[in-house]
Structure 1
Amino acid sequence: MPGAASLGMRAARTGALFALFIGILIAPAKAADDHHAIWHRLLQAHVKPVSDGNSTAVDYAGMRASRDQLDRYLSALAQVSKADFERWSEPAQLAFLINAYNAHTVALILTAYPDLDSIRELGGWFSSPWEQAIAPLLGKTRTLDDIEHEMIREHYHEPRIHFAVNCASIGCPALRREAYTGDALEQQLSDQTRQFLRDRSRNRIEGNTLRVSKIFNWYGDDFTTGWRGIDSLSAFLARYRDALGLTDAQTQALRSGELDIGFLPYDWALNDTR
């Protein structure tokens, strides 16, 4: 029968092996999140809360003055290999892609700022700003559409990304004042969704109609795919009744189809601090 000392040594070895195993699991996610430190500092410095804190505006002049830092960040993203990316957890991958989309959008605005009033002015005769190959990422030069539709929407089936990716317009959800990370992604997406739905310039009750952002019209199918058991836009909106300010009666009417859903015009003006 083993003695107490022998049992203690075995317990110590088991504990060490367990700690090593956990470290191996955690290390890739931490390495993924470490890429975003520069972007986090830029957001903290140059993104300002507006609309009672439910949205933000970007100090693009400040971003332009820090362009060397932004370029360093985009270069670091470009150095990430597809093999490394695929070793990360899904939350770390998704955080990486959301940050990449938002940072490349800011960089695109800076190519013409301050001489533009909307991102749509950056499109050419044959392509929109979202169809320009501007983002070296995971071995290819991508467009913003590639990142959003092929890399994010096609693979992750997470409807709340529509409140995280930012198209540099007032109608967009807020550009978050911190980088997304794998460790915090669930809380960040939940917070972004509620923040957006609380903004009455984008989502509000008018009589017997719940008028919501045009985003819910453009990407309506993303809210019907069974995310967390939700298979309809009305069920998704009812889940966030508190953020929308719905009464019990309005929530019941929404769930039963008795409350109409309408879509508000989208404001494409630049989300800057001027």
Structure 2
Amino acid sequence: MKTSHSTSKRLVRYAATFSAFILLSIAAKLHAAEFDHSYTGFDQLLKQVVQVSKDHKQTRVDYQKLAMQKETLNTLLTVYSNVTKSQYDTWSKTQELSFLINAYNGFTLKLIVDNWQEFTEDDAESIRDLGSLFTTPWEKKFFTLFGEKHNLDDIEHSMVRKWFKEPRIHAALVCAAVSCPPLRNEAFVADQLTLQLDNQMQLFLADNSRNEILLDGQNGQASLSSIFKWYRGDFEKGDEGFNSLFDLLSAYSEALVEGDNNPQEQRALIQRADYPIIFKDYDWRLNDVANF
């Protein structure tokens, strides 16, 4: 009888443990389902404050208007901060990457808005001016993510570049400088992410102020954004089919020659894949509408 009673108690404990596990699993799924992967609020805010150039290749942010909606931005970012790592891990890869890109861009906007008075009083003209003697602005831990204090470098280098094999993110993460890729006037969403990343790279490479093919008779060179110098290695790992910057430029050759005077000669140069690549100086001025 004792053995039977002991067995019954173990079965009850096992059943209780299993039931608790099921309930926790259901709760996690319900919690995950609560997150708005359409980013409706963030999307609406971006549409209000991001201005697109006439040629659709550049954008600027109306930070004065955004500063007047600071609480709206903070409320949206609080939702991001409340996401737990266990909740995040239940999402698809495209949902995860969309979240991190939106978080990086959103918290960058917050960094500027939180220090907007410095810009209006001419104490700062670049995001780099928001650092200190020993800390860059990208190293400042000013927001919470996954239950811990983080900085922008954490999102870019310790999460996005570490967890994903997607070099096109360098056309999507925007650090609030004029020479950065254009900040998209819509949120990144999972079911459109591949198209959005592709479009971002097209826009970035099509803008001659950032990237261009320069001809000199039968020869020539590519003059590219310094982003491709800093992160060249990310385009040499075979991810997305890119084993070199030549592969990237070949894949986006139509964007590179868009609107140029000698597209046929430029295409021929790009296909040769043996031309010099130089890198442009980076314009760190704030990507504000005043700097359009």
Aligned to 1:261, which of 250, 259, 277? Answer: 277
Please give the alpha-carbon distance, in whole angstroms, between the structure 1 residues aligned to 2:182 and 2:33: 25
Does 1:214 pair with 2:226? yes
Cross-structure match for 1:224:
236
Write out per-residue CA displacement over residues 218-241 of structure 1, whole angstroms, 9 at most, x where no aligned residue. Answer: 000010111233211111111000
Q: Is the 8 A contact 2:179 2:282 kept in 1?
A: yes
| Cα separation, partners in 2 of 1:127 and 1:51, compared to 1, 3 Å | farther
For the pair shown, the structure with the greater C-alpha radius of gyration is 2
Q: What do the CA deviations read for 1:64-122 (whole angstroms, capped 9, x no partner)?
A: 11111101011101111111100101111000000000011011011221342100000
The question of 1:61 aligning with 2:69 is answered no
Rounded Cα–Cα distance in structure 1 between residues aligned with 2:152 and 2:212: 30
Question: Structure 2 CA distance, aligned partners of 1:245 and 1:29?
Answer: 44
Question: If the length of structure 1 is used for normalisation, what is the TM-score?
Answer: 0.86
C-alpha displacement of 1:256: 3.8
Check conservation: 1:51, 1:199, Cα contact below 8 A. Answer: no
Please state whether the residue corresponding to 1:87 is helix, strand or coil: coil
Of 147, 159, 170, the match for 1:151: 159
Q: 52, 55, 68: which one pairs with 1:52?
A: 55
- In the alignment, the residues of structure 1 paired with residue 191 and residue 230 of structure 2 have an alpha-carbon distance, to the nearest angstrom, of 29
CA displacement at 1:28 relative to structure 2: 9.1
The correspondence for 1:234, drawn from 235, 246, 257, is 246
Residue equivalent to 1:176 = 184
Cα pair 2:171 2:201 within 8 Å, conserved:
yes
1:87 and 2:85 matched: no
Q: Is the 8 A contact 2:38 2:189 kept in 1?
A: no
* 1: CA distance, partners of 2:105 / 2:139: 15
Give the Cα–Cα distance (whole angstroms) in 2 for the partners of residues 260 and 73 of structure 1. 45
Contact 1:33 1:181 in 2 (8 A): no
Cα deviation for residue 50 of structure 1 reads 1.9
Instruction: Give 3-state SS (helix, strand or coil) of 1:136's partner.
Output: strand
**Identical-residue share of aligned pairs (%):** 39
The answer on whether the counterparts of 1:136 and 1:142 sit within 8 Å (CA) in structure 2 is yes
Q: How many residues align?
A: 249
Corresponding position of 2:44: 41
Unmatched runs of 5 consecutive residues or more in structure 2:
1-29
Q: Distance in 2 between the 1:209 and 1:273 partners? A: 32
**Residues 29 and 89 of structure 1 are in contact (CA less than 8 Å); yes or no, is this contact kept in structure 2?**
no
Structure 1: runs of 5 or more not aligned: 1-26
What SS does the aligned partner of 1:228 have?
helix
Q: Counterpart of 1:10?
A: none
